[in-house]
Amino acid sequence: MRKLIVTVFLLASVCIISLTSWYLVSFFPYLEQLNTISTQGISDTGKKQKLLYLYAVEAESKQRIRTHAIERAYWSLVFQHRGSESRSWVFNNYLWYIASHIHFNEQEVFGIWVSCSLYGCGKGLKEAAHLNYNREIFDLNMKELISLAVLVRGPSLFKIGSKKSEEKIKIIMERNPPITVTRKTEP
């Protein structure tokens, strides 16, 4: 029995040491860059951040936003420059995803999603807004914001102006009608 406990303890220790080593070598060096990317993504959305986040959650889901953001960040920061085999790609994406839960809240991940989606980190939705609407993200209207959020889900399937894209935009707009402010008038 004592041998079994020692063996389990040693195996657990090796796993913990391996994961800590991986974290220090493969994720930690990029943490500052990820924070900068997140801040830039949030800044790019300006006053439309809350609206775009709402539409992105409708188009994707909170979990899908995190998964996609971290996957694109890994691709832009590491994989594109170093390359790797597919097993390493899957393993590192999974571990980056886990590490993202330690370091980033939902809004920070959303900033990474905005900055890295579609065209890679540093371009992202800002570039998509310029290419498709020739405007900044914070200057887009409700339908245009939704179309960008939908575009991330599947760029070829939900190409802006396509029938599928318009159907998805309509569904999201019905779930989230525009907020109008009415003023109370005194009689």
**From first to last of its 187 residues, what are the pLDDT tens digits of the chain?**
888 888 888 888 888 888 788 888 788 888 899 999 999 989 888 888 888 898 899 888 899 999 999 988 888 888 766 666 656 778 888 888 988 999 999 999 999 999 998 877 878 888 889 999 999 988 989 899 999 999 888 888 888 888 988 998 888 888 877 765 445 555 5
Q: Which residues span the domain enclosing 162?
A: 30-174
CA end-to-end span of the chain: 85
Q: What is the maximum span of the chain, computed from C-alpha positions, in angstroms?
A: 86
Residue 104 φ then ψ, to 5° = -130, 135
Q: What is the CATH number of the domain that holds 100?
A: 1.10.3810.10
Task: Confirm whether 93 is domain-assigned.
Answer: yes
Task: Confirm whether 180 is domain-assigned.
Answer: no
Dihedral-angle region of residue 134 (phi above 0 means left; psi in -120 to 50 means alpha; beta otherwise): left
Task: Confirm whether 65 is domain-assigned.
Answer: yes
CA distances from 180 to 100, 144, 176 (A): 36, 18, 12
What's the rounded Cα separation, in Å, for the pair 78 and 89? 10
Query: Which among 72, 63, 68 is positioned nearest to 30, based on CA atoms?
Result: 72
Task: Confirm whether 157 is domain-assigned.
Answer: yes
Task: Confirm whether 184 is domain-assigned.
Answer: no
Helices (H), the chain: 2-22, 31-45, 49-59, 62-74, 80-82, 86-103, 106-116, 124-133, 142-153, 163-175
- The number of distinct structural domains making up the chain is 1
pTM: 0.82
What's the rounded Cα separation, in Å, for the pair 49 and 70? 19
Q: Is there a contact between 37 and 123 (Cβ–Cβ < 8 Å)?
A: no
Dihedral-angle region of residue 177 (phi above 0 means left; psi in -120 to 50 means alpha; beta otherwise): beta
Task: Confirm whether 23 is domain-assigned.
Answer: no
